[in-house]
Structure 1
Amino acid sequence: MKNIKYVLLSAVLIGFTACNDEADFEELLDNPTEQVTFPELTAGSANFAKYVSIGNSLTAGFTDNALFISGQENSMPNILSQKFALVGGGDFTQPLMDDNIGGLLFGGNQNTDGSFGPRLFFDGSGPASLPATSTTEAFAPSLGSKNNMGVPGAASFHLLYDGYGNPANLVTDPPSANPYFVRMASAPNATVLSDALAQQPTFVSLWIGNNDVLGYATSGGDQTVAAITPLTGPPGVGFDQTIGAIVGALQASGAQGVMANIPYVTSIPHFTTVPHNPLDPSNPDFGPQIPLLNSIFGALNPIFNAVDPNRAIVFSETEASAVVIKDESLNDISTTIIGALNASPTFPAFIAQFGLPAQAAPLVANLLGVTYGQTRQANANDLLVLPSSKVIGTVNMESVAALMAQGLPQALAGQFSVEGVSLPLEDKWVLLPTEQDEIKLATDAFNIVLEAAATTAGFAFVDANSLMSQLDNGGYSDGNFVLTSSLVTGGAFSLDGVHPTARGYALLANEFMKEIDETYGSNFEASGNLLDIGNYPTNYPPTLQ
């Protein structure tokens, strides 16, 4: 038997645009569209009887900064399993959350930090957190083995860590367990890999490694928050031997599989949405302050110019201005600033405009030196992380308190504590060019390891890096849709700017099936069994809970 599909609707639509009169349309109806015949779907040499997916948030179905039922149902592995079922694939179970709110309860308490809070929704102007409380308890296990072993937040080495699912490790400081794996681990000392292998999979998908660079990137390159995984080292430490151990174990089990590499994180909207110059002079909270700001920085710019003219700070009264950032790659000239200001005979008169006595000059000189010793205005080469959009222009109350403790009046302390304007944005809000280079070098090295491992194991291999880059450079055309990396409007990325939408996951599933076809001789594409990505949503309404 062969599957026969008729390409009729598209032809009729074309006919409407091409026909000049009723006679032309009648002629079209009198000449039916030619049948398009597809071959019968076959698995080729692939055995999908027991499919297990191993990975992180990208395979768990994480979207809109949360894990929730609808997102999991539209996860890439779940979508793939539905196609695999057409050629012998079995049931596919997932550690479903208890609601569509997202986030987790820890002992009954909602945790709103990081990826444990409610999902995001579009409130008409931008991403906003769903005003609801999760009903999913981190300490309540999701019983039974799970085909989807995607663990949000997992890096490569976490797949081998035997305490990653131990609930006792959630209360250590810092926690050394993952609450999502705690819910699904078969035992406290189980590993993600061991639980996957215990299911005796005939076919696996492995997409891991994104978090080996992503945490460093989303923290603005802050090593104290998350470091890039070392390239070399023993299993569980170095990326090369860790991937070798994981893929080697899968290969030894006899499983077939498909792997994917790591996209450049700097091509996703989490890093490309917020412009480096968001300060609009028409903004009534910013524009009227520009003369005073330029007066303040006017006292510092001669010092900046003497050291490096690129450090000079000037706000435009007619065009958008760049934010002020702290650049840790710059030499710290705090002492130079302090010395120059203290030596200036006009500096006491300068601070008088703020209502400060001449005796306060050394104090103010010290504060300015410490604050602006490593600052400059951002430029187009800097990438501001998406959460910075809610910080820029706000008053940092910790800074206010610290300045008041130094003797500044509250109003003046507030003027000097405006994020990205008078108070330089901390490094965690900005990915500097030097940090971007570190990430790219690591990603390129990791991708060489991943492709080599897939080749050695005989697994299919998906170049997710090229696909994501295409989304960022003009878009990716799939049927009647062009997906891009634009936040909200692009259709490919969810509101967190990192994880795909359901439509984005469907696009990825198609790419995985194409590579499986290439390696194992299946014919998902040739038989017309690729997904219509238009059947998958790009957003979830706030009413879905």
Structure 2
Amino acid sequence: MKKLKYIWFIAAAISLTACSDDDNNTEEMSEPLPELNAGSANFSTYVSLGNSLTAGFSDGALYRISQENSMPNILSSQFSLVGGGSFTQPLTNDNTGGLLAGGNQLPGFGPRLVFDGSGPVSLTDLNPMATITTDIVLNNPTGPFNNMGVPGAKSFHLLAPGYGDLNGLFTSPATANPYFVRMASSTNTSVIADAMAQSPTFFSLWIGNNDVLGYALSGGDGSDPITDQATFDFAYSTLISTLTSGTSQGVVANIPDVTSIPHFTTVPYNPVPLDQDTATALNQGYLNYNAGLQFALANNLLTQEEVDRRTITFSAGENNAMVLVDENLTNLTGFGIPNYRQATAADLFVLPLSSLIPQGYGTQIPLEDRWALTPEEQSEIATATASFNATIESAANNAGLAIVDANMLLNQLANGGIPSNGYILTADLVTGGAFSLDGVHPNSRGYALIANEFLKAIDAKYGSNFEASGNLVDISNYNTTYSATLQ
């Protein structure tokens, strides 16, 4: 087999700029802009709640400069122009990312990703001297914190007492989150309790992504199920009622279609180049499997349609489809016939698979459930997202809150892009300008774009005029990537 590289990243050197008139700053105004005002909003004490999208998580890690360019921190800088107060974040110690516990790296909490010219790699691959220095046992910052975004949190986690208890990290299953361990005011507090202790006059809430994203990132294999509707409804309504008990002012955002992000759209279904000898060898390897399908057809165990769908063939050329295990196929494992089929354009694949394809994954080694989202699994995600978003919209409207349609925003990025400040941002990995190298979280420029959407929603609800006065942020001031030498 020819050596397969990250061929879908080669265009990374192409300029990220594109022609577009800026709807905020580049157009000459024939009349002076109005003076900025807050309308009826009171930004004096702003508190943000959410998950990684609120914390500023980027490139597979939480690191200092990504936090400084978090969506809420960008909002707070604009709020400060009209009476907003200070905004404190639980900043990490470095720009390496990753977490330690008593000097030992926490499993799964490694350094940020960087681009090596072909694809995303760990920072230490390019900069072996980079060191993780943020230790959740030895050097946590002192709160209270206005940014209460906790990477990895689901809706109900924001209500959970003890979510910041260090001991809860070592139970099975874990009952705590290492990021909240750094932030929590006490071992038995909750995210919502620490937020309300600050008596916010204005809040933002962007939660729910992880309630479906965990299932998607695991390829729908069942290890991280979608939150059930009743649990989500209770958690979200409780959060809103609690937050509005002290103030009726705030902005919420709904849940994007997670299957539209580059983590699931970058790896094609047919990325495998083969020479004739390798194709012949692979076909020989699946000979018995294909013969088993014919046996099943002859014994009326399968229809001709399903046999055709499940038959595996490779040929010399650049675009061979991968083989995956599909639990939705007729189960004939009792006859020694696995649930194999070749992928189609309707399947989605997780980004980490890209580095494994050259090792035979998808050819000699059929892909397990965790590597792919089948159409049936995508449908489950879409149904849950729509139901959760209906809950969010209803709660926001009943409480009189501003709402950001993040779902529509992400779909626009995935389908043609969004023009802003001389750029067209898209959902393409590396070249699109909006997403970081993990393919899940925005980069700094993407967070700036989202912050502008929050400001527009606040304008519409509370009569402020960030947009009309020319006080949306200039996204060109925010980076798309950061050097491996950044410390």
2:429 maps to a residue whose letter is L
Higher gyration radius (CA):
1
1:376 counterpart SS class: strand
Residue of structure 1 in register with 2:388 after alignment: 446
2:4 corresponds to 1:62? no
Pairwise CA distance, 1:457: 1.1
Residue of structure 2 in register with 1:171 after alignment: 170
2:114 corresponds to 1:121? yes
2:96 counterpart SS class: coil
What per-residue deviation string (whole Å, max 9, x for no partner) do you get for residues 423-456 of structure 1? 2111000011111000000000000000111111
2:348 corresponds to 1:391? no
The TM-score normalised by the length of structure 1 is: 0.80
2:272 counterpart SS class: coil
User: For the residues of structure 1 that align with 2:358 and 2:318, how far apart are their CA atoms?
Assistant: 17
Pairwise CA distance, 1:498: 0.5
Of 228, 231, 236 in structure 1, the residue corresponding to residue 229 of structure 2 is: 231
1:75 maps to a residue whose letter is S
Residue of structure 2 in register with 1:299 after alignment: 288
User: For the residues of structure 2 that align with 1:36 and 1:541, how far apart are their CA atoms?
Assistant: 42
Residue of structure 2 in register with 1:513 after alignment: 455
The TM-score normalised by the length of structure 2 is: 0.90
Residue of structure 2 in register with 1:273 after alignment: 266
User: For the residues of structure 2 that align with 1:10 and 1:504, how far apart are their CA atoms?
Assistant: 19
Write out aligned runs for 1:407-418 (5 A).
Answer: 418=360
User: For the residues of structure 1 that align with 2:456 and 2:61, how far apart are their CA atoms?
Assistant: 28
**Percent of pairs with identical residues:** 57
1:194 maps to a residue whose letter is A
Pairwise CA distance, 1:332: 2.4
1:465 counterpart SS class: helix
Pairwise CA distance, 1:106: 1.7
What per-residue deviation string (whole Å, max 9, x for no partner) do you get for residues 354-397 of structure 1? xxxxxxxxxxxxxxx4xxx1111111111000011112232xxx
User: For the residues of structure 2 that align with 1:34 and 1:211, how far apart are their CA atoms?
Assistant: 42
For structure 1, list consecutive stretches of 5 or more residues without a partner in the other structure.
Answer: 1-6, 12-32, 233-237, 339-368, 395-417
1:164 counterpart SS class: coil
2:49 corresponds to 1:44? no
User: For the residues of structure 2 that align with 1:202 and 1:151, how far apart are their CA atoms?
Assistant: 21
Residue of structure 2 in register with 1:24 after alignment: none
Of 432, 436, 454 in structure 2, the residue corresponding to residue 494 of structure 1 is: 436
Q: Is the alpha carbon distance of 1:311 and 1:270 closer, same or farther for their aligned partners in structure 2, counting shifts above 3 Å?
A: same
User: For the residues of structure 1 that align with 2:486 and 2:277, how far apart are their CA atoms?
Assistant: 43
Write out aligned runs for 1:108-187 (5 A).
Answer: 108-113=103-108, 116-131=109-124, 132-139=130-137, 140-187=139-186
2:364 counterpart SS class: coil
Q: Is the alpha carbon distance of 1:456 and 1:174 closer, same or farther for their aligned partners in structure 2, counting shifts above 3 Å?
A: same
User: For the residues of structure 1 that align with 2:169 and 2:334, how far apart are their CA atoms?
Assistant: 44
Residue of structure 2 in register with 1:524 after alignment: 466
2:273 counterpart SS class: coil
What per-residue deviation string (whole Å, max 9, x for no partner) do you get for residues 13-59 of structure 1? xxxxxxxxxxxxxxxxxxxx875410000000000000000000001
What per-residue deviation string (whole Å, max 9, x for no partner) do you get for residues 439-491 of structure 1? 00000000000011111111100000000000000001113110000000000
1:81 maps to a residue whose letter is S
Pairwise CA distance, 1:422: 1.8
Q: Contact conserved, 1:221 with 1:435, CA < 8 A, in 2? A: yes
Question: Which is bigger in relative contact order (C-alpha 8 A, separation at least 6)?
Answer: 2
1:296 maps to a residue whose letter is G
Q: Contact conserved, 1:167 with 1:177, CA < 8 A, in 2? A: yes
Pairwise CA distance, 1:298: 2.7
2:415 corresponds to 1:481? no
Q: Contact conserved, 2:26 with 2:421, CA < 8 A, in 1? A: no
Q: Which moved more, 1:95-104 or 1:305-314?
A: 305-314
Q: Contact conserved, 1:103 with 1:112, CA < 8 A, in 2? A: no
For structure 2, list consecutive stretches of 5 or more residues without a partner in the other structure.
Answer: 1-22, 125-129
2:41 maps to a residue whose letter is A
Residue of structure 1 in register with 2:324 after alignment: 325
2:111 maps to a residue whose letter is P
Q: How many correspondences in the alignment?
A: 448
Q: Which moved more, 1:315-324 or 1:186-195?
A: 315-324
Residue of structure 2 in register with 1:355 after alignment: none
Pairwise CA distance, 1:111: 2.9
What per-residue deviation string (whole Å, max 9, x for no partner) do you get for residues 478-534 of structure 1? 131100000000001100001001000000000000010000000000000011111
Pairwise CA distance, 1:88: 0.2
User: For the residues of structure 1 that align with 2:135 and 2:31, how far apart are their CA atoms?
Assistant: 51
Residue of structure 1 in register with 2:9 after alignment: none
Residue of structure 2 in register with 1:247 after alignment: 240
User: For the residues of structure 2 that align with 1:10 and 1:194, how far apart are their CA atoms?
Assistant: 43
1:375 maps to a residue whose letter is Y
Q: Contact conserved, 1:104 with 1:138, CA < 8 A, in 2? A: yes
